[in-house]
Amino acid sequence: MANDVKPRVKVPKSAKAGEVVVLKTLISHPMETGLRKDSKGELVPRSIINRFTCDFNGKNVIDVTLQPAVSTNPYFEFEAVVPEAGEFKFTWYDDDGSVYEDAKAIAIA
Amino acid sequence: MKQRTIKTALTVTALFGLAFAGTAMAEAVEDTLVIDGVEITTRAAAPAHLEGALDEIRSGWLYREADTRVMQADDFDNPGMIFVDRGLDSWNAVDGTEGKSCASCHEGPEAMAGLRAVTPRVDAKSGKLMNIEGYVNDCRTTRMGAEAWGGRSDKMTDMMALIAVQSRGQLMNVAIDGAAAPFFEKGKEIYYSRFGQLELSCASCHEQNNGNYIRSDHLSQGQTNGFPVYRLKDASLTTPQGRFVGCVRDTRAETFKAGSDEFNALELYVASRGNGLAVEGVSVRN
């Protein structure tokens, strides 16, 4: 696992039924491209987050494929419709097989 | 201003364009930094010891582009805040032979409130000049029985970010008299000494030319109130001493080492030039 990977998400605490809310996510990750060489001239192995998903009550909201050109500490901002109270689940998939998860509940106001 | 008189011969459009580049862009902006509804002091009257050098002290935030300034004003958009979260994990993690974490003695990180605003300072017990890195490593080696962290390591910068956030909004107020006086004088001497093949002192850029451009970079006053800072070009946190190393290197000099007596003294002196500006927690710069 890339060391000290830490996800962060921002979800409003509540919304009206059917309202469109803005979600923001950030994860600390070096996103090593696999194209750089170290001081000895050897390739630094690729180590990136290759997929990011967000689900709401089991239903997929967004599913993103990431490529090596995405910068360090990838940040996503996107919108989702909130039909009912529930939980947003965020998942990041690392090249090395690690999976990082976070979840935030949202209430109907 | 001298340039402007020459420009009068140019067309009106060109005049507007150049005058804009010459004045509005070069000076620090008029803007207010508000984070979570709290206004952060980014301008203040210069402390007494800067009389004749600077009239007003300004945070580097005022010299950055609008999108960078906005990024810092929101704790989620500020990428530096993720390292505060990581610092909190370290704070609670047991390490070393004594089986202790930071939290074992200090409880919450709130216990560190105010520390960032008064460091570097001369420790009353040991008589040594201590910055945050010094205090963290002192705790780790003497109380936790753990290994010292490197002064610019991720673990250290995460912890510095966590400690800095506790003092956000408090005004910098490092002591420069009494036991600190010799360090202050030494730091001042380094600040005004020219280094490297380019023969630049800190003052050459940050005192005499702040607001002007050095290549495409807008020179600030070199204040340290915002440190540790998230640098967009590095996508990571930088410490004051890490920044000193970069600056002195850019004069094409052999630099002092981070953590050396010279840079410790300089850190105190530079911090004292910002007495009156608010600690920004983790700032965002380019």
Does the residue B133 lie in any domain?
Answer: yes
Determine, for residues A8 and B154 on separate chains, whether the beta-carbon distance falls below 8 Å. Answer: no
Q: What percent of chain B has pLDDT over 70?
A: 91
Residue B3 has pLDDT above 60, yes or no: no
pLDDT digits (tens, 9 = 90+) for B125-143: 889 999 999 999 999 999 9
At B280 the three-state DSSP class reads coil
| Beta-carbon count within 10 A of B231 CB | 18
Window 71-90 of A: residues touching B by CB (8 A cutoff) are 71-73, 75
- From B113, B138, B166, the end of a domain falls on B166
- From B139, B166, B193, the end of a domain falls on B166
What's the confidence (pLDDT) of residue B17? 43
Within this chain, do residues B195 and B67 fall inside the same structural domain, yes or no? yes
Query: What kind of fold does domain A6-102 have according to CATH?
Result: Immunoglobulin-like (2.60.40)
Interval A3-14 mean pLDDT: 88
Within this chain, do residues B174 and B252 fall inside the same structural domain, yes or no? yes
Largest CA distance in chain A: 58
pLDDT digits (tens, 9 = 90+) for A40-71: 999 999 999 999 999 999 999 999 999 999 98
Q: Could you state, in order of their start, the residue ranges of all structural domains in chain A?
A: 6-102
Interval B208-225 mean pLDDT: 92
- From B112, B134, B166, the end of a domain falls on B166
Within this chain, do residues B200 and B136 fall inside the same structural domain, yes or no? no
- Number of domains into which chain B is organized: 2
Name the residue type at position A43: L
pLDDT digits (tens, 9 = 90+) for B79-114: 999 999 999 999 999 999 999 999 999 999 999 999
Does the residue B97 lie in any domain?
Answer: yes
Residue B50 has pLDDT above 70, yes or no: yes
Measure Cα distances from B158 to A6, B77, B87 in Å.
12, 17, 4
A64 touches chain B (CB under 8 A): no
Closest C-alpha to B90, from B134, B149, B2: B149
Confidence of residue B7 (pLDDT cuts 50, 70, 90): very low
Does the residue B10 lie in any domain?
Answer: no
Q: What is the span of the domain harbouring residue B86?
A: 81-166
Q: Is the ipTM of this complex over 0.90?
A: no
pLDDT digits (tens, 9 = 90+) for B233-248: 988 999 999 999 999 9
Sorted by sequence, the CB contacts under 8 Å of residue B284 that are 6+ apart come out as: B64, B68, B71, B72, B78, B79, B80, B229, B230, B232
Name the residue type at position B47: P
What's the confidence (pLDDT) of residue B26? 60
A61 touches chain B (CB under 8 A): no
Measure Cα distances from A53 to A62, A63, A66, B73, B79 in Å.
6, 4, 11, 28, 20
Residue in B70, B74, B75, B76 to test binding to A, most A beta-carbons within 10 Å: B76
Query: B97 — phi, psi (to 5°)?
Result: -75, -20
What's the confidence (pLDDT) of residue B163? 96
Determine, for residues A4 and B76 on separate chains, whether the beta-carbon distance falls below 8 Å. Answer: no
